[in-house]
Amino acid sequence: MRKMMAIWRRVGLALAGAIVLTISTIVPTSAAPGDPVISEPDACPGGVCEVRAQKPDTSSSSTTTTSSRVGPSAKEVWLKQVAQIRRYNQQFESYERCLATSSNTCTAPDRNALPELAAWTDLQSDTAAPTLSPSQAGAIAVARLRLPLTPPKVGPDPNLNKWKMAAVGYPLWIWADGSTHVGPVSDSVGGLSVSLDARLAKTVFRMGDGGTVTCTGAGTPYKNSVKPGTASPTCGYRYEKPSLPKGNYTVTAISYWAVTWTVNNTSGVITVPVAASAPLPVGEVQTLVR
């Protein structure tokens, strides 16, 4: 996941760098009163230009001109998009920290906050729009991909016994219920076509009593044909303490999806966590021996 955030930070830095490049290369022949004054490139020491705001000249009459500008400039659009991506990064970092501690109340970041990064047909024709690299486009497409929830399941099903609960000490099978593969799907980011293919790599189960189980893929689903008392071959758990009569344990399945992105002949893999929870009553079953 650190890899994903590093890519996202590079996206933000690259976009910001592209904006600076746009500012330094677009020098208007004349500036309207109140517009920023941008130094000539040759006059920038060390390649760094100073941008200052100039107040309107109200001491003498001037001719009012009507700007022919239609739509926002590339600089304005990218500044807004950089801000959106930074906010998304902050939300995702908070989500990761929450999953590492108390996953029961974690809120996933809002993918709708991400910019569309469409082609630049609505921008001024005299502005040079920055371009995305394949890895930047891939990172944005992965963040916008909607992966399915895979809620935790426990077998044998507690609802099938007369106590309607799982028993302390009994070997439980646990797995993430749902699809384990998504794709291939396509997305368009900044004029680049991105292909995505996602597979469930591992699932971390937080069992609600402080215990944690990490399983490859989704784990192994329980079957009614399994002999009672048989432990799961890949992903199981035994509770040592009951949740009843106080309440239920909250079991959370954190599914880690390995999403492969491809742009032209370039590809990479980004891991994305998705969490889902379910209540589980756990009690003690006493055996009377006469």
Q: Are 286 and 242 in contact (CB under 8 A)?
A: no
109 with 272: CB under 8 angstroms?
no
Other beta carbons less than 10 A from residue 52's beta carbon: 8
Q: Identify the DSSP state of 3.
A: H
Instruction: Please tell me the distance from the alpha carbon of residue 103 to that of residue 251, in angstroms, as a whole number.
Output: 10
In the predicted model, what is the mean pLDDT of the chain?
A: 74
Q: How confident is the model at residue 22 (pLDDT cuts 50, 70, 90)?
A: very low
Q: Compute the CA torsion angle 162, 164, 168, 173 (nearest 10 deg).
A: 110
Instruction: Say whether pTM exceeds 0.85.
Output: no
Task: Classify residue 85 as exposed, middle or buried by CB count within 10 Å of its CB (0-12, 13-18, 19+).
Answer: buried
- Chain-centroid distance of CA 276 in Å reads 15
DSSP for residue 211: -
Q: Between 286 and 43, where is the model more confident?
A: 286
Q: Residues 225-244: what's their mean pLDDT?
A: 94
- Residue range 91-104: mean pLDDT, rounded: 74
Closest Cα to residue 208, out of 176, 170, 247? 247
**What pLDDT, on the 0 to 100 scale, is given for residue 33?**
37
CA dist 82 and 17 (Å) reads 10
Task: Give the residue-averaged pLDDT of 110-119.
Answer: 60
What is d(CA 9, CA 174) in angstroms, rounded to the nearest whole number? Answer: 36
pLDDT confidence of residue 288 = 34
Which single residue is written with the structure tokens 């009012």?
64
